[in-house]
Amino acid sequence: MLNHFCKSFITCWNHFVEDSENPKLSKEAKIYWSINPKTKGGNKISHEVEFVVDANFGVPGAIIVTNQYKKEFYLESIVAIEGLVHFACNSWVQPHGFHAHKRIFFSNKVYLPNDTPVGLKSLREKELKQLRGNSDDSRTTSDRIYDYDVYNDLGNPDKGDEFVRPILGNQSQPYPRRCRSKRPPTNSDVNVESPVSKYMPKYVPRDEAFGDLKAKAITEGKWKAMLRSLVHTLKQKVAINGEAIKSFSDITELYKESLPPFEEGGDECWEKGGLPKLLNKMIKECGQDVFKFDSPKLIS
């Protein structure tokens, strides 16, 4: 059974790998997401697939997955032999055309290094090599490389000496370290990496990137932080009839009521500041909840 977050017409090729010293491969099994999908609520879909194996095939220890579609999909888990073998995947599987290597997922059976079957050990070494990546290659948003580097991007010497910052993570200051991003060096110092910018964002391995809900929550938090600097202007523009809070019901309304879209025009000072456009952008990206007070945490 395959759980994922994609409803596209995807073909997926799978091989079971036997958990033994000399592992066998099952015959290739194909999945067509468009055929008999089972909805599990939300965006989750499950599929059933049959693997053809020899009569003496042992317990599956790994599964090899190839995505033959042009888009990535999220593979949550694979359950085999009526739940006896479980593969916790929780990873994005990239199209084979963009990432030639096949994805390998291992069962939840735990081994000590000396007890790991030879066949699985070679697959684990291959997986580890893929995760470490090549330090010379550039990074893309679809990569899942966990190579580490020093913090040599804290400053920007191209702007002047006052923007020079020390390098953290080297021998003199061994901690902390960061994920290697392979941005080009600065013009004035080849040992310093170009700082993060709109055109050169910070590299984050694909499986570590925020989902849509969390990304929206972070964006909303940024907008709320920005509103604090506008509080004096907002007090003048959104005060209701200039009246102060008179009762507890007025306080309750602060957590229920939101603000309507701001209309442009009518106040030259207000208009020149660009606040109507800014506030409407907040509403568009985060919804009207961005103007609501956060509900207080309960104190037990």
Query: Which pLDDT score, from 0 to 100, does residue 29 have?
Result: 84
Q: How far is it, in rounded angstroms, from Cα 24 to Cα 78?
A: 19
**For residue 6, is pLDDT > 50?**
no
In total, how many domains does the chain have? 3
What CATH number corresponds to the domain at position 144? 4.10.375.10
Residues 237 and 268 in one domain: yes
| pLDDT exceeds cutoff 60 at 9 | no
How much is the average pLDDT of 175-184? 88
Mean pLDDT for 11-24 is 64
Provide the token pair at 12. 């997926």
Asked if 46 and 125 sit in the same domain, the reply is yes
Confidence (pLDDT) at 105? 93
Q: What is the mean pLDDT of the chain?
A: 76
- Domain finish residue from 161, 184, 209: 209
Question: CA 169, 189, 148: angle at the middle one, nearest 5?
Answer: 30
Q: Let me know if residue 300 belongs to a domain.
A: no
More reliable by pLDDT, 267 or 155: 155
Question: Residue 150 is part of which domain span?
Answer: 138-209
Give the least confident one: 19-23, 95-99, 224-228, 257-261. Answer: 257-261
Task: Return the higher-pLDDT residue of 223 and 75.
Answer: 75
Query: Based on the domain organization, do 161 and 52 belong to the same domain?
Result: no
Please give the Cα distance from 81 to 63 (Å, whole number).
13
Asked if 68 and 150 sit in the same domain, the reply is no
More confident residue, 21 or 185: 185
Beta strand residue intervals within the chain, DSSP E: 2-4, 11-18, 29-32, 38-39, 45-47, 60-67, 73-80, 85-93, 103-106, 148-149, 178-179
- Tokens linked to 84: 């006896």
Plot region of 266 (φ>0 → left; ψ -120 to 50 → alpha; else → beta):
left
Task: Classify residue 94 by its DSSP letter.
Answer: P
299 in a structural domain: no
Instruction: Give 185's DSSP letter.
Output: B
pLDDT at 273: 47
| Domain end call among 168, 188, 209 | 209
Domain boundary among 209, 241, 257: 209
Name the residue type at position 84: L
State the average pLDDT over residues 195-205.
85
Cα separation, 151 vs 136, whole angstroms = 17
Residue matched to tokens 């593969």: 87
The overall longest dimension of the chain from CA atoms, in Å, is 83
Higher-pLDDT residue of 17, 76: 76
Instruction: Kindly report, residue by residue over 131-174, the tens digit of the pLDDT.
Output: 998 877 788 889 999 998 999 999 999 999 999 999 999 888 88
Show the tokens assigned to 160.
């002047």
Q: What is the pLDDT of residue 292?
A: 61
Best mean pLDDT range from 84-88, 198-202, 267-271: 84-88
Cis peptide before 176 (omega within 30 of 0): yes
pTM metric for this prediction = 0.70
